Amino acid sequence: MQRGSHPSAKHLYADFLTDEMLDMISKGYWMVLPYHSLRHHPHLKLSPAGVIQQRNRRPRTIVDYSYSGINQALTKIAPGYVMQFGRALQRLLQRIVNSNPRFGPVYMCKVDLSDGYYRIPLTSRGCLELAVPMPSTRRWPLLAVPSVLPMGWSESCPYFCMATETIADETNKQPRCSFSTLPHAQDVLAAAQDQLGGPTAISSTLPAPLLPQHPIDYTDVYIDDFMLLAQTHRVATTLRRRLFHNI
């Protein structure tokens, strides 16, 4: 606690970190509590926070859970095989190449899940082991305690990918006539971004007997970016609705 966080969090970006934490508190992602109220808790562990500057983007807050030994000491339970994003582009291109041109061009859609890891909650016991000292006075030291997966914890990525991969799998499994094709609150905003004009369908290299007999209706995911492929406007609309309902 005496060391506090990284100089980038204590000095260079102290104001940014404070504003960022206020925003996270308002969304229920983090809690800021007096250190004296938690200092004797048996599960309390402290790790330094830092702020990384990004080119043409706002800075990013990250916690160094390796410095405190949290990442090294944990028991890896989350399955690593759920992180399947390494070949997402290859899977998408393969489906586009093998599409049946009879159903027209392939439409693509990208849905970004905002706040990423912060969508997955932690247990009350686990969150105390991922606490962070906040820039504050020595007389009134403060702790930030996450209620969701934080950036920097080595298990955050597989747990988060387990959720997003499940969403993609469920979207692909559901039939087009399921309840999830009912209108969604985001339909109007999403449809406003549609650009249904464009190039005609490309010819396929597959022999006619091997071509799919249905238009493409496929969802893939790269960490927190969902990517949809669909042929015909109707399929594209229902696929997007299924994804929205599953999220």
pLDDT in tens, 197-225: 665 656 667 777 778 788 999 999 998 89
pLDDT digits (tens, 9 = 90+) for 8-26: 877 788 888 888 889 989 9
Residue 229's pLDDT is what? 94
Residue 52 has pLDDT above 80, yes or no: yes
Q: Per the confidence metrics, is the pTM higher than 0.75? A: yes
Residue 170's pLDDT is what? 92
Residue 192's pLDDT is what? 80
Question: Are 242 and 174 a contacting pair, CB within 8 Å?
Answer: yes
Average predicted confidence (pLDDT) for the chain:
85
Residue 226 has pLDDT above 90, yes or no: yes
Cα separation, 221 vs 224, in Å, equals 7
Residue 185's pLDDT is what? 84
If you average pLDDT over each of 57-66, 172-181, 223-232, which comes out highest? 223-232
Percent of the chain with pLDDT over 70: 93
Neighbour-count burial of 215, counting CB atoms closer than 10 A to its CB (0-12 exposed, 13-18 middle, 19+ buried): buried
Residue 168's pLDDT is what? 92
Q: Rounding to the nearest 10 degrees, give the CA dihedral for residues 29, 35, 37, 43.
A: 70
Residue 126's pLDDT is what? 84
Element (H, E) at 125: helix 124-128
pLDDT digits (tens, 9 = 90+) for 84-97: 777 888 999 999 88
The distance of Cα 158 from the centroid of its chain, to the nearest Å, equals 11
End-to-end Cα spacing for the chain? 38
Residue 177 has pLDDT above 90, yes or no: no
